[in-house]
Amino acid sequence: MQDPNADTEWNDILRRKGILPPKEKPSEEAEDEGSQITQQSVVKTYDDMTLDELEENEDEFGEEDERAIEMYRLQRIAEMQASQLKNKFGDVMEISGQDYIQEVTKAGEGLWVVLHLYKQGIPLCALINQHLSGLARKFPAVKFIKAISTTCIPNYPDRNLPTIFVYLEGAIRAQFIGPLVFGGMNLTKDEIEWKLAEAGAIKTDLEENPKKQIQDQLMTAIRCSAPTRRGSDSEDDE
């Protein structure tokens, strides 16, 4: 059966003959809804465009569209500026004692700071500086800084080096002091990343403590190299 509300030539003839009632005009609410859907589809096209594409297609939009585009452009620029501000670091900055207050205490709201106290000529300090450079590139929202120990803390003992302090908004949140904490020259970048993640300074993609993997491998090697009980009993019998 043919739809009496369909826009067909036959239905128009039937309406003129009075066989079908006149077609109802769409309500204002329906028109508004249709207009809203159209506007949403236009806005969706804005979301799919870059700022350069918006400028290239500027002539194709009407006056209302241009106002919407301008608001959207300002929003995108603000988001980009916020992202650039958040990811403004990316390397390890060298500071001295006189820079400490500005770079650590007054670092800023919500900003994590990782400070490495070191000295030239200590191999483990050099290794940690190398690892921190990689982590600074991986986590550019965190401020990584380093300083020769005695320039920040007069008479700071070399036996406490390397030392890493972790700060949030100028308050210390974690500290790693001395070579034993870092495990010597076998220290990996992942191990430092895990320590900083436990302190809350970064969000790591590591699924478990890399130090645990090394410990498990050592225990496996020890078990494999140890003589079995039966073998030791037979040696005693001889």
- pLDDT per residue, tens digit, the chain (238 aa), is 556 667 676 667 667 766 667 776 655 555 565 555 555 544 445 556 666 666 666 665 666 666 766 777 777 776 665 565 555 789 999 999 899 999 999 988 889 999 999 999 999 999 999 999 999 999 999 999 999 999 999 999 999 999 999 999 999 999 999 999 999 999 999 999 999 999 999 999 998 998 865 555 545 555 666 565 555 455 555 5
Q: 194: how many CB neighbours lie within 10 A of its CB?
A: 19
Buried b (16+ CB within 10 A) or exposed e, 11-49: beeeeeeeeeeeeeeeeeeeeeeeeeeeeeeeeeebeeb
The angle formed by the CA atoms of residues 113, 115 and 116, to the nearest 5 degrees, is 155
Residue 41: predicted pLDDT: 47
Distance separating alpha carbons of residues 93 and 63, to the nearest angstrom: 49
The residue length of the chain stands at 238
Residue 71: predicted pLDDT: 75
Residue 227: predicted pLDDT: 61
DSSP string, 40-60: HHHHHHHHTS-HHHHHHTGGG
Distance separating alpha carbons of residues 103 and 111, to the nearest angstrom: 11
Helix/strand/coil for 112: strand
Helix/strand/coil for 237: helix
Residue 95: predicted pLDDT: 95
**This prediction's pTM:** 0.58
pLDDT in tens, 21-80: 777 665 555 556 555 555 554 444 555 666 666 666 666 566 666 676 677 777 777 666
